[in-house]
């Protein structure tokens, strides 16, 4: 087509881990993990593999996605997205509910998707493969059947799935235990068929710095797979902690109509040292086949920031607006809640053009259902702000903005009252300690405020304005390094949102937000 241009990685910035994609004609669809955020599993559409537009959220009802008391890094793990004979299938694991491994289906990838079919299978990271004879096979990760010798001593196993009953049938076959001897966490398996071979593509060695991609093949799904002698076929662990792209793994591959092969995978971009505040993002790399095995990023063997785009027609997508004015009937698709929202705590109709949040009993450091509407951090440097109207009824009512890594690592910038004036507070939660970094009282009750968070790499600045024009700083140079999985553990990236709490008591007080702005700077 000779329309090549250069694109920038990641193709999805921010917390979009465990990407899976499929092709339907000229169209490509991609899904990613969401853990304890709701709605779950965003789905994107593209025609060039570079520019992706979110068209829905696959799990958009509590019946599909129960998240009661889920830790922020629990909930939904590693979806696989597939298409077969007019139906889309998404299979994943809810590690926080009895659903376990389950499937949902749809005719239209934008939804609605079905209620979940729970499979009762062991382990995590399930995937589906449709063979030439129409049979469907389940592929997953679980501890070795003969007994795990250590945590993460797993097997990749295969079993037939009856699509009529959505039940696993027949014998379960141990396919592979990973490429390296005594490897931890062979996981994230996908099966493909090419030139008479079944290929099993996996990740191994955990999802941190040692993450790696390996592949094996077999002539039969019921026989052991033989690993590629060049394994791992992609990793960045040998490049060191200072390399700008790390933790490479969890891939999925696709062949374009013109015969090119491309791989999506997750990786992280640390900044300010080895700190990955954005979590695990989605990257795109070229792939080729030589002597029956894949070569990832031919000639380079690494994931690069700038690459030549696929030989596909440019696909134009509408950028996500920097500012949301809440003048629509529903929240934008990229907005999320932490766990299942309490419906009566949110409204887009109470006050026209405003998002209303009730000061909920639960707070961000609990495992409950706080009033929190958020989006992903997508940039190293950014400005996040909201304009809000708020009249607290008691000193326990607070509302404002937050940057949230997990229950034990977050910052909150909140307005409240001491009964006679408006009080602004910057609160840091780190590990098991909540600290009031700064608190100031304004000269009087201020019903309307603009609250702003600016990040310059790992330096955070909290600012406010009473007129929407002139800003004052309440806290400067707050430490951003606590807001990453390297400090906290877990699997998620940061989110930024508006938040309202009554700090453990019931309240009928609402805060009204008339805009949210997120800008990379």
Residues labelled as active-site residues: 18, 187
Buried b (16+ CB within 10 A) or exposed e, 445-472: ebeebbbbbbbeebebbbbbbbeeeebe
Sort residue 432 into left (φ over 0), alpha (ψ -120 to 50) or beta: alpha
**Residues 247, 9: Cα–Cα separation, whole Å:** 14
How many Cβ atoms from other residues are within 10 Å of residue 79's Cβ? 27
**Residues 314, 357: Cα–Cα separation, whole Å:** 40
Burial class of 241 by CB neighbour count within 10 A (0 to 12, 13 to 18, 19+): exposed
Q: Determine contact, residues 516/323, Cβ cutoff 8 Å.
A: yes
C-alpha closest to that of 105 among 43, 174, 182, 195: 43
**Residues 430, 408: Cα–Cα separation, whole Å:** 5
**Residues 197, 84: Cα–Cα separation, whole Å:** 20
SS3 (DSSP) at 305: coil
**Residues 55, 90: Cα–Cα separation, whole Å:** 15
Q: Number of C-alpha atoms within 13 angstroms, CB side, residue 57? A: 21
**Residues 129, 225: Cα–Cα separation, whole Å:** 16
* Cβ-Cβ contacts under 8 Å for 139 (sequence gap 6 or more): 126, 127, 128, 129, 156, 157, 158, 175, 189, 190, 191, 200
Q: Determine contact, residues 440/417, Cβ cutoff 8 Å.
A: no
Strands (E), 352-447: 355-358, 371-376, 382-390, 398-406, 409-417, 422-430, 433-441
Q: Number of C-alpha atoms within 13 angstroms, CB side, residue 394? A: 11
**Residues 185, 255: Cα–Cα separation, whole Å:** 27
**Residues 139, 142: Cα–Cα separation, whole Å:** 10
**Residues 297, 312: Cα–Cα separation, whole Å:** 18
């Amino acid at each position: 087509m000779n329309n090549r241009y250069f694109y920038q990685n990641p193709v999805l910035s921010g917390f979009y881990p465990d990407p899976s994609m499929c092709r339907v004609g000229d169209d490509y669809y991609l899904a990613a993990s969401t853990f304890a955020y709701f709605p779950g599993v965003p789905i994107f559409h593209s025609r060039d593999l570079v520019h992706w537009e979110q068209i829905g959220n696959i799990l958009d009802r509590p019946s599909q996605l129960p998240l009661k008391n889920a830790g922020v890094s629990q909930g939904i793990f590693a979806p696989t997205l597939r298409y077969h004979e007019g139906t889309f299938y998404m299979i994943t694991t809810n590690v926080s509910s009895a659903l376990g491994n389950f499937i949902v289906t749809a005719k239209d990838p934008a939804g609605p998707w079905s209620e979940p079919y729970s499979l009762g299978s062991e382990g995590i990271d399930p995937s589906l493969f449709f063979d030439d004879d129409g049979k469907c096979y389940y592929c997953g990760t679980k501890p070795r059947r003969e007994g795990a010798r250590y945590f993460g001593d797993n097997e990749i196993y295969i079993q037939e799935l009856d699509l009529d009953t959505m039940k696993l049938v027949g014998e379960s076959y141990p396919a592979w235990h990973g490429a390296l001897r005594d490897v931890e966490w062979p996981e994230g398996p996908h099966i493909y068929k090419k030139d008479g071979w079944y290929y099993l593509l996996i990740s191994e060695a955990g999802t941190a710095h040692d993450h790696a991609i390996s592949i094996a093949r077999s002539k039969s799904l019921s026989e052991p797979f033989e690993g590629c002698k060049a394994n791992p076929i992609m990793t960045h662990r040998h490049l060191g902690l200072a390399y700008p792209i790390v933790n490479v793994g969890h891939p999925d591959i696709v062949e374009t109509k013109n015969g090119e092969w491309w791989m999506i995978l997750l990786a992280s971009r640390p900044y300010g040292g080895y700190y990955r505040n954005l979590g695990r993002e989605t990257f795109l790399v070229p792939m080729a086949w030589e002597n029956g095995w894949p070569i990832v990023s031919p000639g380079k063997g690494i994931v690069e920031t700038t690459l030549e785009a696929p030989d596909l027609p440019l696909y134009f997508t509408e950028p996500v607006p920097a500012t949301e004015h809440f003048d629509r009937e529903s929240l934008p698709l990229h907005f999320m809640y932490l766990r299942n929202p309490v419906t009566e705590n949110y409204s887009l109709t109470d006050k026209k053009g405003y998002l209303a949040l009730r000061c909920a009993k639960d707070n961000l450091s609990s495992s409950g259902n706080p009033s929190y509407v958020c989006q992903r951090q997508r940039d190293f440097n950014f400005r996040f702000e909201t304009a809000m109207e708020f009249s607290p009824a008691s000193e326990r009512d607070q509302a404002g903005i937050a940057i949230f890594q997990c229950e034990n690592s977050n910052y909150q910038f909140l307005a409240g009252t001491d009964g006679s004036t408006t009080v602004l507070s910057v609160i840091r939660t780190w590990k098991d300690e909540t600290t009031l970094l700064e608190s100031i009282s304004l000269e009087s009750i201020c019903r309307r405020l603009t609250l702003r968070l600016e990040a310059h790499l790992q330096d955070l600045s909290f600012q406010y304005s009473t007129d929407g024009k002139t800003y004052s700083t309440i806290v400067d140079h707050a430490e951003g390094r606590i807001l990453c999985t390297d400090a906290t553990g877990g699997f998620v990236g940061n989110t930024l949102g508006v938040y309202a709490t009554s700090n453990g008591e019931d309240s009928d007080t609402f805060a009204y937000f008339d805009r949210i702005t997120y800008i990379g700077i």
